[in-house]
Amino acid sequence: MDKKHGTIIVDGKIVDLDKTSIEELKKLENKLENEIDELRKEIDELIK
């Protein structure tokens, strides 16, 4: 792999993206998208 994508923190754990399988990356993507949707709802409520 010629690209370093670094790490992210998910649920308090460090995840090395270069060592994560594509399937796991897809799961992470869905999880983050759902969490972002929830945060948007919370923010919309706060600035309503």
Partner 1 sequence: MDTAKNYDDNYEVVVPENDDFDLEYIDLNEEDIINVNPEEVLKAEVQREKTLKEALLNLMSKQASLLKVKTAEKARETGATIDKIIKGVEEKAQAYEKGYLEEKAILDDYNKKLDNLKSLYEEGVDFRLDNRDKFETKEQVAINQKSEAKSKMKKMQATKQYKEYTKAFNKVKDEFNQAVLEGDTETEIIKRKELIELKQKDPTIPYKREMKQADDSISLARKGISECDQQLIDWLEDKNKAIDRIENETNQALSGIVKQNFWQKLIGSLVNKFHKVGKVAKSAFGQIKKITDMMDEVYEKMNKEYEEELNANMQAASERAEAKAEARAERKAARAEKNRKHKQDIIKMIDERIAATEKQLEAIRAQRSQDNGKSITPVFEGGDNVVQFDRDD
Amino acid symbol at 39:
L
Least Å distance, CB 18 to partner 1, is 7
Contacting positions for partner 1 (CB under 8 A): 1-3, 5-6, 8-10, 17-18, 20, 22, 25-26, 28-29, 32-33, 35-36, 39-40, 42-43, 46-48
Least Å distance, CB 11 to partner 1, is 11
> Which of 29, 30, 33 lies closest to 17, judged by CA?
29
Number of helices (H), then strands (E), in the chain? 1, 2
Least Å distance, CB 23 to partner 1, is 10
